[in-house]
């Protein structure tokens, strides 16, 4: 794929699309394409996370090691490990390729340098994360209420 193809691909990923074309050009130039054989593990629960991955082709099963956790399968266009772009964190799940797959690896160092150079893109990302965090908080409060918990967290 060419840089232009990679930019167009990144524009299809909702979180990355917020950044704009020029910031995506930086990511497209610095991102690394990786092939993963079916059944191979991309990363494991508990590993340090220094990058996020965008699934280009194929699919991955994401599952934590908690009992009863069903996991989820993601395919092309999925951004895996998004928080690793912004902060040091551990992988909350193991990602296993369900079939031969290709991902674009975006290192945190590259992403943070890109944000430094494009403060408007950083602001759009911050605003989006704030809205998503507020929505997640509302959803958790509703769920807690349905499960018989209290709104105050007691």
For residue 66, being part of any structural domain is answered with: yes
Residue with the larger pLDDT of the pair 139 and 29: 29
For residue 153, being part of any structural domain is answered with: no
For residue 122, being part of any structural domain is answered with: no
Q: How confident is the model at residue 151 (pLDDT cuts 50, 70, 90)?
A: low
The answer on pLDDT for 1 being more than 80 is: no
List the CATH number of the domain containing 65. 2.60.120.10
Q: Which residues contact 68 (CB under 8 A, 6 or more apart)?
A: none
For residue 136, being part of any structural domain is answered with: no
pLDDT tens column, 48-73: 999 999 999 999 999 987 766 678 99
For residue 57, being part of any structural domain is answered with: yes
Handedness of CA 72, 136, 91, 55 (dihedral sign): positive
For residue 152, being part of any structural domain is answered with: no
Count of all residues that appear for the chain in the document = 154
Total domains in the fold of the chain: 1
Q: What is the pLDDT of residue 97?
A: 97
Q: What is d(CA 51, CA 17) in angstroms, rounded to the nearest whole number? A: 18
Q: What is d(CA 83, CA 108) in angstroms, rounded to the nearest whole number? A: 9
Give the residue numbers spanning the domain of 56: 3-117
């Amino acid at each position: 794929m060419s840089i232009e193809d990679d930019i167009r691909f990144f524009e299809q990923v909702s979180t990355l699309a917020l950044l704009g074309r020029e910031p995506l050009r930086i990511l497209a130039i610095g991102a690394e394409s990786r092939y993963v054989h079916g059944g191979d593990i991309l990363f494991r629960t508990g590993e340090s996370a220094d990058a996020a991955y965008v699934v280009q082709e194929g699919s991955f099963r994401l599952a934590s090691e908690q009992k009863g956790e069903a996991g989820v399968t993601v395919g092309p266009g999925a951004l895996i490990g998004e928080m690793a772009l912004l902060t040091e964190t551990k992988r909350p799940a193991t990602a296993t390729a369900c079939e031969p797959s290709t991902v674009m690896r975006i290192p945190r160092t590259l992403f943070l340098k890109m944000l430094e150079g494009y403060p408007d893109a950083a602001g759009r990302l911050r605003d989006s994360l704030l809205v998503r965090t507020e929505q997640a908080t509302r959803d958790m409060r509703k769920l807690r209420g349905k499960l018989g918990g209290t709104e105050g967290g007691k």
